[in-house]
Amino acid sequence: RTIADLAAEPAIRPEHISEAISYRQLDRGDWAERGL
């Protein structure tokens, strides 16, 4: 499921892409190493 699906939107919008990217950044680098 996409963020657009969860928001009940018929299409993926730029803000959905931004939100997805922000979640991916939490999975990488310093955040992942610190376990936050």
Instruction: Note down pLDDT in tens along the chain; length 36 residues.
Output: 889 999 999 999 999 999 999 888 877 766 556 665
* 26 phi/psi in degrees, rounded to 5: -70, -25
Q: Where are the domains of the chain?
A: 3-34
Helices and strands per DSSP (H, E), number in the chain: 3, 0
- Looking at residue 32, what is its pLDDT? 57
Structure tokens at 30: 């310093």
* Cβ atoms within 10 Å of 20's Cβ, excluding its own: 14
- Looking at residue 31, what is its pLDDT? 58
- Looking at residue 10, what is its pLDDT? 94
- Cα(27)–Cα(17) distance, integer angstroms: 16
Please answer whether residues 4 and 13 qualify as being in contact, where contact means their C-beta atoms are separated by less than 8 angstroms. yes
Q: How far is CA 18 from the centre of its chain?
A: 7
